[in-house]
Amino acid sequence: MHIEVNGEARDVTDRISLEELVRHLNLTPERLAVELNRQVVRRANWRETTLNEGDRIEVVHFVGGGDVIVDETLLLSRILFEDDLLRL
C-alpha cells in the first residue's frame, strides 16, 4: 500500500495502524504529534486508526530547547500548533 509520510512516498503493509507505522519508523511516540490527511490524531487513537491507500501523514518531533510557547500555542519550525495538539 502506498502512503506519504512527511512528503515522502512509502510502501507499507495494507491496513497498518498509525501505532504500527510509528513503531515501523522507529520513532519515540512520547515526543510525536501525528496528522493524518490534515487532521491531528491523538495518541490514544493511534492503535485504532487504520491507514488507507494514498493517506498523507505528517509526523512532528518535539525537542527541548528553542521552542516558543505563547498563550498555549507552540511555534515550531514556522508551524503553529494550537492547544489541542499540545495535549496529545
The domain locations on the chain are 2-63
The pLDDT tens digits of the residues spanning 25-77 come to 988 888 888 999 999 999 999 999 999 999 999 998 776 655 444 444 444 44
Q: What is the pLDDT of residue 30?
A: 84
Amino acid 61: pLDDT: 78
pLDDT of residue 83: 44
Architecture of domain 2-63: Roll (3.10)
Sheet order of strands, 79-81 included: 68-70, 73-76, 79-81
Tell me which of 4-8, 61-65, 82-86 is least confident: 82-86
Residue 2, SS3? Answer: strand
What whole-number distance in Å separates Cα of residue 75 and Cα of residue 2? Answer: 31
- The pTM assigned to this predicted structure is 0.69
